[in-house]
Structure 1
Amino acid sequence: MFKWIQGGISAVTGLAEPEYGESHFHSSTKRLTSKKVNPYTRAVVSAGDFDFQNPSNTNVETATFYINDLETGYCGFAQIIHSNIGITTTAQFTFKLYNNNKDLGFKQIWTSTKLENFEIVDKKNFKADNLTLQWNEDGSLRIKSEVNPESIVDLLFKPSITNGVKFGTDPNTYYGPSIEEQWGSMRHVYHPRCQVEGTVTNLTTGDVIEMTNEKTFGLYVMALQNMKPHHCAKEWRFAWFVNETESLVLMQFETPKSYGNSIVSQAIVTIDDDNETKVIACPCENDLKLLGQYKDEETGWSFAKSVDYTFNGYEIKDNNVDNEVITDDSKAITFELKGELSELIERMDVMNEIPQFVKNIVSGVTATKPFIYQYFSKDLTLSRSDVPESAFRGSAWIEVTYITDEREISE
């Protein structure tokens, strides 16, 4: 009787699931490593790789524009969140801008605004009242928003690589008895390095921030959680390291116990060489260490003082070859990203705006209490095993997201 009730509640509110185990989890990266192929696959706008998937069931789909101006110190992101919660579909625009130069006296901008009259246009574009996401014929994309007077945004992202990156020809990770009988999925597609230009205006303070120099870089990520988010993952790790010639992107999640605490880890390393940006590796067997952790007494989660992230991959010999076979002479490369997390930008309560009675039910039954810890460090180092004594310095946006504490779950 309890299992029947649990299943019924789960369908409505997304509470705890039975333990299906690893047999019901079909990882996008494991499919590649088991075939011994390099994970890199070109993601093409015209082929629909950057389209909104827009499934009819419960899901959350996001288009996120990360920015980092190495010259002025401004960094942050603009994000469109398109959510189907089963009863209705909603959309939100969130924006954050931070500056690591304390001498400027800049107070960070953080806005989250509900969108009205929104729609997906031609599958890959998006519009709402006073907001547009538009792909241009030259492969660039523009995000413009006037939905909040504190964050008037007009940013143009120009990818440094003609095509983006996805892991495998099918970038989806599937949940269910088999890929053919799946009941949910997770998907990420990337433009790992972009040039950015535009402005951010705060009408409340009168600040107009121009991003026009050649040291303003961007990252664009399309993501889909095609089931209830806390059923997909119990913890996330995100990192974006960038300097004038190198960049590294990490997206990693760990499933709840219901899917065997399985890990999917995707990293992309690029380098600018001879005025050309190249993807040099897409590691997906990675070891991520948070160092100097201490408990956050208010949430029960942990702060971190530094990171030591290791990425194990293979050299991509030709950017025009998808999923090249890994052979005995394939060049293995290990990258290490390490350093102090010098600034905790924000500790964000994800459920802060959820109605209290729903929050009580969800957190009480499943120990779901999602918090995002956002860090910025302007002095991390990226080293690589094939370049002796390498230590490329740069700045990084680091996120650690905790969703479910399974130690608190019991029948």
Structure 2
Amino acid sequence: MFKWIQGGISAVTGLAEPEYGESHFHSSTKRLTSKKLNPYTRAVVSGGDFDFQNPSNTNVETATFYINDLESGYCGFAQIIHSNIGITTSAQFTFKLYNNKNKEFKQIWTSTKLENFEIVGKKNFKADNFTLQWNEDGSLTVKSEVNPESIVDLLFKPSTPNGVKFGTDPSTYYGPSIEEQWGSMRHVYHPRGQVIGSITNLTNGDVIELTSEKTFGFYVMALQNMKPHHCAKEWRFVWFVTETESLILMQFETPKSYANSIVSQAIVTTDDDKETKIIACPCDNDLKLLGQYKDEETGWNYAKAVDYTFNGYEIKDNGVDNEPITDDSNAIKFELKGELTELIERMDVMNEIPQFVKNIVSGVTATKPFIYQYFSKDVVLTRSDVPGSSAKGSAWIEVTYITDEREVAE
């Protein structure tokens, strides 16, 4: 009971947490791997998997829509940040667009507060001059006119018949038990699709049309159902894409209070005869950042290259979700290697997030979140089940640092 009280107090005040240990961390992926279950479970819009969870306690919930036009070089994301600190709820629309082929293109970055926002029917979202709408054909529309520098009109058409969640319950829980949990983390994905639409910058008159069949996207909903710096101290993210393959990674490591536990979720897809198949959903992954050197301004590290290994099992579409794995011959190892050719941006999160979210973490020892966003056209994906396979593609790679536990110890 004492630990539960400590957890409740720290969740409200933002104080550093006691060391609860691994017993108070209930990973969505460990629940599967410990029982040797296939982590893949279908996520469907009609079944509520892509609903906004909208809990009443302190949380940050995001809906993020990534795009990559392999032909023109435009890539970026559109994101809703819906946050609650218990007494105040707010919403923000952030948008980023970068061009990896045209160095003269001045990247777009906007972060705009949404007014009169509401969740509609649990899965849609609207505000003044903004809508996120699931359509009857399963596509997703994002329209925003809240900022003149980023007028957005995008349509995402999933190319997989359903989305992906890890296990039947995709949440990771913090607390003495799942039944007595005081916080959680949740991710649900649509891993690949086609994107069409436009981005208009009214301040300079630029109109960017996305019409190529080589424009791909994916969609992820995430919920941090407690204070973000209590959920995780570090994040790793990858979106690798070619004309026929894609790989997504979402990984976080908890603070020492939860034994520096790791949750790692990856999804690998391939296109075959115009059908996109989900090959594997590895959650036993080894991520190495190579050639690291210290960023003297922040204290965090830059990286020069990646060597990421993903260990999963072949998914056989036999209509059974979350089935036991009985044959190790279905094991597949994927490896993503290459140079990080360009640091797009080193983002000081505290400068970009809404003020009320800053209030959650302000003054907390050693909390100094920075996102290092890289883009590389020199990464290669190989797979063990196809000898000699080698797919060179482009990758959006992020490393996010939140809390420096060396300073906490001091």
TM-score where L is the length of structure 2: 0.96
Match of 1:293 in 2: 292
Q: Say which SS state the counterpart of residue 351 (structure 1) adopts.
A: helix
User: Do the aligned partners of residues 361 and 274 (structure 1) sit closer, same or farther apart at CA in structure 2, a change above 3 Å counting?
Assistant: closer
* 1:12-411 correspondence to structure 2 within 5 Å: 12-102=12-102, 105-318=104-317, 320-352=319-351, 362=361, 365-410=364-409
1:123 to 1:106, Cα distance in 2 relative to 1, 3 A: same
- Paired amino acid for 1:301: W
SS of structure 1 residue aligned to 2:317: coil
Any idea what the Cα deviations from partners look like across 1:266-300, whole Å, max 9, x if unmatched?
00000001211000000000000000000000000
More displaced stretch, 372-381 vs 263-272: 372-381
Does the CA-based 8 Å contact 1:195-1:217 persist in structure 2? yes
- Given residue 407 of structure 2, which amino acid in structure 1 is its aligned partner? E
The answer as to whether partners of 2:157 and 2:195 remain within 8 angstroms in 1 is yes
Contact 2:11–2:227 (CA under 8 A) maintained in structure 1: no
Residue pair 2:199, 2:209 contacting (<8 A) in 1 also: yes
CA offset at residue 378 of structure 1? 1.3
C-alpha change, 1:391 and 1:156, in structure 2 (3 Å) is same
Could you list the runs of 5+ residues in structure 1 that have no partner in the other structure?
none
CA RMSD of aligned residues (A): 2.1
Identity of aligned residues (%): 88
Paired residue secondary structure (1:94): strand
- Structure 2 spans left out of the alignment, 5+ residues: none
Whether the 8 Å CA contact 1:25–1:174 is kept in 2: the answer is yes
Conserved? CA contact 1:279–1:319, under 8 Å: no
Please give the secondary structure, in 1, of the residue aligned with 2:23.
Answer: helix
Q: Aligned with 2:288: secondary structure?
A: strand
- Paired with 2:10 and 2:255, the residues of 1 have a C-alpha distance of 15
* Alpha-carbon offset, residue 9 of structure 1: 7.1
C-alpha change, 1:358 and 1:115, in structure 2 (3 Å) is: closer
How many residue pairs get aligned? The number is: 408
Distance 1:387 1:406, change over 3 A: same
Q: 1:226-265: per-residue Cα shift (whole Å, max 9, x none)?
A: 0000000000000000000000000000000000100000
The DSSP-based 3-state class of the residue aligned with 1:409 is: helix
Whether the 8 Å CA contact 1:233–1:253 is kept in 2: the answer is: yes
Q: Distance in 1 between matches of 2:116 and 2:400?
A: 30
| Separation in structure 1 between the aligned mates of residue 76 and residue 352 of structure 2, nearest angstrom | 21
Decide whether aligned partners of structure 1 residues 289 and 271 sit closer, same or farther in structure 2, where only a CA change above 3 A counts: same
Indicate conservation of the 8 Å contact 1:295/1:302, yes or no.
yes
How far the C-alpha of 1:187 sits from its partner, in A, is: 0.2
TM superposition score normalised by structure 1: 0.95
What residue identity is the alignment partner of 2:267? I
- Give the match's secondary structure for 2:33: helix
**What's the CA shift for 1:328?**
2.9
Deviation digits for residues 285-339 of structure 1 (CA, Å, limit 9, x no counterpart): 0000000000000000000001000000000111633112211354100000010
